[in-house]
Amino acid sequence: MKAARPLFDYDKYWAECYGTAPFLPMSRAEMDELGWDSCDIIIVTGDAYVDHPSFGMAIIGRLLEAQGFRVGIIAQPDWHSKLPFEALGKPNLFFGVAAGNMDSMINRYTADRKVRNDDAYTPDGIGGKRPDRCSLVYSQRCKEAYGDVPIVLGGIEASLRRIAHYDYWQDKVRRSMLVDAHADILLYGNAERAIVELAHRLARGESISDIRDIRGTAFLRKDTPKDWWEIDSTRIDRPGRIDAIVSPYVNTQDTEACATKQAEGETEPQGNVLRFVPDARKNRSRSVIRLPSYEKVRNDKALYAHANRVLHLETNPGNARALVQAHGQQELWLNPPAKPLTTAEMDYVFGLPYARVPHPAYGDANIPAYEMIRFSVNIMRGCFGGCTFCSITEHEGRIIQSRSEESILEEVEKIRDTTPGFTGVISDLGGPTANMYRLACKSKKIEAACRRPSCVYPGICSNLNTDHSALTQLYRKTRALPGIKKVLIASGLRYDLAIEDPEYVKELVTHHVGGYLKIAPEHTERGPLDKMMKPGIGSYDRFKELFEKFSKEAGKEQYLIPYFIAAHPGTTDLDMVNLALWLKKYNFRADQVQAFYPSPMATATAMYHTSKNPLRKVTYDSEKVDIVKSRVKRTLHKALLRYHDPDNWPMIRKALKEMKLEHLIGSGPDKLVPANQPRGYKPKGSARRKNTRQAHEKRVQRGKALTQHTGLPPRTTR
């Protein structure tokens, strides 16, 4: 893989003479104090501005500042008029628009499409401070304010909607967000490389409409350039030799052989046919794969699943090709993903002069998301787990990008010395996963050619380095720092990897668990686990043995808290009954349960929408996936996770009778629910469910609000 230009290798823009701002300005008064007459770049974000490297606007803003640009922030503006978007004046280069750290629809609605009352990224957790699909709304207002200023879309909302995608809230396929926002360019992924190159090229006078060669970007063009190879995606996925070479979803652990074949050659078009080209990687820079158009994937579910499959095929920065998808008369073009950041670049990004606190404009207001992370340290990015319901890989990539030990320890010391309220406890050393720090493929050549969507499914790849010693050493050095009393690990643990290194598990359990450790087996049954690309429950059992063994040796009473998903694609009613029986056997009583949430672009979302399995070759008569869509079924699956709640017993009893599993009703350890409700038992909240006129009016108003937000009919009319 050809090395990318380092982030710190650019000549700084002339405005570097203004120095470093204590906070990026959010008002003209702050600009005046800094001596600025204008901003070069203005970032518009749906989150409150917290100057901390866990918040996207802070990372991008400080990075651009380090390149010499004057960067302003418009955080959570009132979107009902253009005036708040004119608060900092006209930017010299562009508006950067992002929804924030979460997709605005996921932030606003639950998995049952109910409006949330709070927002963790807003002062005092107040909900409703950003519009639905706020990247679209913000872009529109920026255009109204200054119509000639380029709009650059970014952040996770734009990243996961960069292509025609299924939208759960409207239950339809929507166009790429770039098309609907009428923006000039879209940056997907973490986007440091793309934003720095784009800013410098615009500053040099290039037109944004001419910038078409930056990796990790999407844009609109009229047609495919004449010197490019155009490949029909449906031909890549056909049976035979071609499919054997390029298919990323083979269920095999013989990845070395698979990767070697890909390293030896690929397929490229010649006239109307595909030909085998030795060492075709030399031609990849001018190969583009044509996906079925937006109109086709909107109307044909098999083609939607196919497009999703091919999109995930082309995600490895080492071998990904450009993609093109027609949207009417426009051609949406996606360049290959950006090259991962090196350790030196990760240190550079996380070492920027963040204030590490919210902007003073918020006063004493509490920002819940900040409170959760203010004593935590992000040590890495990316995830090679490939879980189909998760958006981490699609946004951050599957190649792990790790910071150096020195950089991490320096940040811990900054927290100790400068963060208000620090009591000596680091709340987390982690990232997307707790224990992928410095884990990577043993061969760079194989890594660059590999097309597997996961390095750990259906089993851990023999080419994957699973040595946790670097992380174990980091834990020991961190807790040895003066003033550090405790280092907890709160990020999600990949326990199937952890059991490969018992020494790491011992270190974790002995020193870094605060009584409870949350992990996510997600399910016990093979059907849904295969659709999730998660390991079998046997890996959990082995980890549990080690956890209990080392807890006992340390003289500590500690507990595992397993998380499970209800209603995931591939889950049957019987699967949920078996999971409930497993939970009862081990006396697990979940207080809260999570139902599958179809996030944009995820493979599991493609399953949900199409009932097809994109993990295998997609045809009109290919494997059908069990899908849980009705409210009744989703409620039943969640109820089975809370088998111990008497409120759920009537529903569970009814379902068991319909499934001819009456033998699970009654008293005894082998029964799931009792035959009768407890004497004198009243359902929780029964008083609130009285059909008074006031309650009825409230439901009607809520239904109208939901219709306005999602386009779905009100619940009261279903």
692 and 671, same structural domain? no
Question: Is the distance from CB of 3 to CB of 339 less than 8 angstroms?
Answer: yes
- pLDDT the model gives residue 696: 53
Phi–psi pair at 226, nearest 5 degrees: -65, -30
The rounded mean pLDDT for the chain is 90
Tally of domains within the chain? 5
- The answer to whether position 692 is within a domain reads yes
Per-residue pLDDT tens over the stretch 680-718: 888 875 544 445 455 555 555 555 554 444 444 443 332
pLDDT digits (tens, 9 = 90+) for 530-573: 999 999 999 999 999 999 999 999 999 999 999 999 999 999 99
Residues 535, 484 share a domain: no
**Bridge partner residues of 377 (DSSP):** 429
| Claim to verify: residue 134 and residue 13 sit in the same structural domain | yes
| Residue 365 forms part of a structural domain | no
pLDDT of res. 469: 98
Query: Of 219, 422, 446, 241, which is closest to residue 333 (Cα–Cα)?
Result: 219
* Location of structure tokens 């091919």: 310
Backbone angles phi, psi at 308, to 5 degrees: -65, -40
C-alpha distances (whole Å) from 496 to each of 417, 432, 458, 492, 670 are 36, 16, 11, 12, 29
Phi, psi of 517 (to 5 degrees): -125, 120
700-709: list long-range contacts, CB under 8 Å, 24+ apart: 702/115, 705/115, 706/113, 706/114, 706/115, 709/108, 709/109, 709/115, 709/132, 709/169
Residue 18: exposed, middle, or buried by beta-carbon count in 10 A (0-12, 13-18, 19+)?
middle
Residue at a domain's end among 175, 195, 216: 216
Based on the fold, state whether residues 639 and 575 are members of the same structural domain. Answer: yes
Question: What parts of the chain have a pLDDT lower than 70?
Answer: 1-2, 236-282, 685-718
User: What does the alpha-carbon distance between residue 482 and residue 503 come to, in Å, rounded to a whole number?
Assistant: 25
The domain that holds 456 is classified in CATH as: 3.30.750
- Residue 715 is classified by DSSP as G
Q: Is 640 helix (H, G, I), strand (E, B) or coil?
A: helix
Is residue 384 located within the same domain as residue 490?
A: yes
pLDDT at 263: 38
End-to-end, the C-alpha distance of the chain in Å comes to: 54
Q: What is the pLDDT of residue 245?
A: 30
Q: Are 130 and 115 in contact (CB under 8 A)?
A: no
Q: Positive or negative CA dihedral for 655, 656, 660, 665?
A: negative
β-pairing, 425-426 with 486-487? Answer: parallel
Q: Which of 149, 181, 216 is the last residue of a domain?
A: 216
Is 628 inside a domain boundary?
Answer: yes
DSSP 571-629: --HHHHHHHHHHHHHTT---SS-EE----TT-HHHHHHHHSB-TTS---TTSPBPP---
User: Residue 219 and residue 209: Cα distance in Å, rounded?
Assistant: 9
**What pLDDT, on a 0 to 100 scale, did the predictor assign at position 391?**
87
Are 568 and 603 in contact, with CB atoms under 8 Å apart?
no
DSSP output for 273-332: EEEEEETGGGGGGGEEEEPPPHHHHHH-HHHHHHHHHHHHHTT-TTT--EEEEEETTEEE
For Cα atoms 309, 324, 605, give the angle at the middle one, nearest 5 degrees: 30
Whole-number Å distance between alpha carbons of 192 and 96: 13
Residues 75, 209, single domain; the answer is yes
Cα(288)–Cα(233) distance, integer angstroms: 9
The pLDDT value recorded for residue 286 is 87
DSSP code at position 716: G
Distance CA 403, CA 215 (A): 22
CA-CA distance, 582 to 91, in Å (whole number)? Answer: 58
Kindly state whether residues 548 and 627 are assigned to the same domain: yes
State the greatest distance between any 2 C-alpha atoms of the chain, in Å, as a whole number.
78
**Is residue 156 one of the residues assigned to a domain?**
yes
The pair phi, psi for residue 194, each rounded to 5°, is -65, -45
Kind and range of the H or E run holding 73: strand 71-75
- HSE-CB of 31 using CA atoms within 13 angstroms: 20
**585 contacts 668 by C-beta, under 8 angstroms:** no
CATH at residue 621: 3.30.750.200
**What letter would DSSP give residue 639?**
H
Based on the fold, state whether residues 32 and 176 are members of the same structural domain. yes
DSSP bridge partners of 402: 380
Residues 211 and 141 placed together within one structural domain of the fold: yes
Report the alpha-carbon distance of residue 626 to residue 638 in Å, rounded.
16
CA-based nearest residue to 175, from 297, 288, 308: 297
| Contacts of 609 by beta carbon, 8 Å cutoff, 6+ apart | 166, 173, 301, 304, 598
Structure tokens at 599: 């996030």
Asked whether residue 246 falls in the same domain as residue 194, the answer is no
Look at residue 150 and tell me if it is in a domain.
yes
The number of beta carbons lying within 10 Å of the beta carbon of residue 34 is 16
Residue 369 included in any domain: no
| Boundary-marking domain end, from 306, 322, 338 | 322
Q: Is 504 inside a domain boundary? A: no
Residue 143 is part of a domain; what is its CATH number? 3.40.50.2300
Q: Residues 427, 536: one domain?
A: no
Tell me, yes or no, whether 658 lies in a domain: yes
Measured CA to CA in angstroms, residue 281 lies from 228, 240, 286, 310, 388 at distances of: 14, 21, 10, 18, 28
Task: Give the pLDDT confidence score for residue 281 in this predicted structure.
Answer: 45
Residue 680 and residue 690 in one domain: no
Domain that includes residue 692, residue range: 686-718
Q: What is the pLDDT of residue 417?
A: 96
122 C-beta neighbours (distance < 10 Å), count: 24
